[in-house]
Amino acid sequence: MKQKINLSGVNETMLVPVYARALESRKKNHAFYDKTAIAVIDSLDYDFKKHGKSKMNMWGCAARTIIFDREVSEYIQKHPNCSIVNMACGLDDRFSRVDNGTIEWYNIDFQNVMKIREKIIPLNDRVINISSSVLDFTWIEKIKNKENVLVIAEGLLMYLKENEVQNLFKKVSTSFKNCTLLCELMSTWMVNNQQIHDTIKKTTAVFQWGIGSTEDFTKLCPMYKMTGDFNLTDTMKRFSPIFISLISPKLRPKNNRIGRFEKIA
């Protein structure tokens, strides 16, 4: 019997990327394989198909998965004994796709989300689930190895206010000796025109913060320097090369991007 869930607002948005990952994983020539995503949608009583009607949204979610998986894997290669913090983890199971056997992984999300996670996603001794808002900084005390820390903010920051983003990463910078951020950033244009976004149409969530360019993040948080900038548009070409290439000039400035930032020593 499938598990019934009752989610709304920002919490409901976590079901969009997990559905996109399942759809991609079921393709014959998939860009990645996420067995957990397939298990999640098969075990929850929820109308996932309402999100799949927007191909652009599904392609975007799949593209950011490709980028995050690649960047996290490269970080782990350089820091095999690192700590990785997955903020607002939702039902993501990136750990199973990138684990090297030595990393420590920390998932952070609200208690109602964690209850769903722990019923569906198998536990691991090196994966610590923390029931908390990312803005409740007590989670930082639970990170054992603070030497090399990678912080992932995927599908999160657009739902926070600007001062919350600033305070969050200021606290992160003072808490970890060597810290790298991988942040999904939404454009100011999309925040201002959010009524056209499929996720907003299908949930009661609201986008609150966007950014003009990836580099602008360092103006808000000057304790970091930008070391990577990956627009989702480039990776989305994998799913529709001709169409995305044609609309690329207009899509790129409006589309989400992944910024990589390192704490300035």
pLDDT in tens, 203-223: 888 999 999 999 999 999 999
Q: Give the number of other Cβ atoms within 10 Å of residue 251's Cβ.
A: 17
Question: Hey, is 52 helix, strand or coil?
Answer: coil
Average pLDDT of the chain to the nearest whole number: 93
Which pLDDT does position 7 carry in this prediction?
A: 67
7 in a structural domain: no
Lowest mean pLDDT: which of 45-49, 100-104, 178-182, 228-232? Answer: 45-49
Which pLDDT does position 11 carry in this prediction?
A: 79
Structural contact between residues 238 and 186, judged by C-beta atoms closer than 8 angstroms: no
98 in a structural domain: yes
One-letter-per-residue 3-state SS of 132-174 = CCCCCHHHHHHCCCCCEEEEEECCCHHHCCHHHHHHHHHHHHH
Residue range(s) defining the domain that contains residue 41: 12-263
3 in a structural domain: no
pLDDT higher than threshold 90 for residue 50:
no
What phi and psi values does residue 149 have, to the nearest 5 degrees?
-125, 130
99 in a structural domain: yes
Q: How many structural domains is the chain composed of?
A: 1
208 in a structural domain: yes
247 in a structural domain: yes
Which pLDDT does position 200 carry in this prediction?
A: 85
More confident residue, 48 or 187: 187
Short-list 9, 15, 81, 67, CA closest to 45: 15
The arithmetic mean of pLDDT across residues 155-183, rounded, is: 97
Query: What are 245-258's pLDDT values in tens digits?
Result: 999 999 999 999 99
CATH code of the domain containing 146: 3.40.50.150
Which pLDDT does position 3 carry in this prediction?
A: 75
- Please give the Cα distance from 226 to 231 (Å, whole number): 14
pTM score, whole prediction: 0.94
Which pLDDT does position 4 carry in this prediction?
A: 75
Strands 257-263 and 178-185: antiparallel
163 in a structural domain: yes
The arithmetic mean of pLDDT across residues 155-175, rounded, is: 97
230 in a structural domain: yes
Short-list 215, 248, 220, CA closest to 63: 248
